[in-house]
Amino acid sequence: MSGVDVKGLLGQLLRRPLLARDVLRAGWRLRARAWWRRAPFLPLPDRAYWAFRVMTATGSSGGTVCARDVLEAAAWSVRQPVGRRVPP
């Protein structure tokens, strides 16, 4: 996945493996719709959407998101009430 410091992220996840759950859940929320219909048949985000997310996170189209920012965003994403009904 371009735009992410993968080595740094893997290093953080090896040090704190419980964070992998948050990263996987957040990544699942970013997947493209009907991802199983198009090769490579992986639940990856749409390229244009991913480029937009990297650009908004870093301020440039060629930027790299650091591991700490990925972990913070994943933790924030998991705390959001997506798919849960909020009482009126």
| pLDDT tens column, 72-88 | 999 998 888 766 565 66
Residues of the chain with pLDDT under 70: 1, 82-88
pLDDT for 24 equals: 92
Q: Is residue 84 part of a domain?
A: no
**Residues near 61 by beta carbon (within 8 Å), at least 6 away in sequence:** 51, 54, 55
pLDDT for 12 equals: 94
pTM for this model (two decimals) = 0.76
Q: Is residue 24 part of a domain?
A: yes
Please tell me the distance from the alpha carbon of residue 64 to that of residue 74, in angstroms, as a whole number. Answer: 16
pLDDT for 15 equals: 95
Structure token pair of residue 74: 């994943």
Cα dihedral 47, 11, 42, 56 in deg (nearest 10): -20
* Residue with tokens 């650091």, as numbered in its chain: 66
Strand partners, 4: 65
**Segments forming the whole domain that contains residue 46:** 6-79
Please tell me the distance from the alpha carbon of residue 21 to that of residue 5, in angstroms, as a whole number. Answer: 18
Q: Is residue 45 part of a domain?
A: yes
Q: Is residue 88 part of a domain?
A: no
pLDDT for 83 equals: 64
pLDDT for 1 equals: 54
Answer for the pair 77, 25: CB distance below 8 angstroms, yes or no.
yes
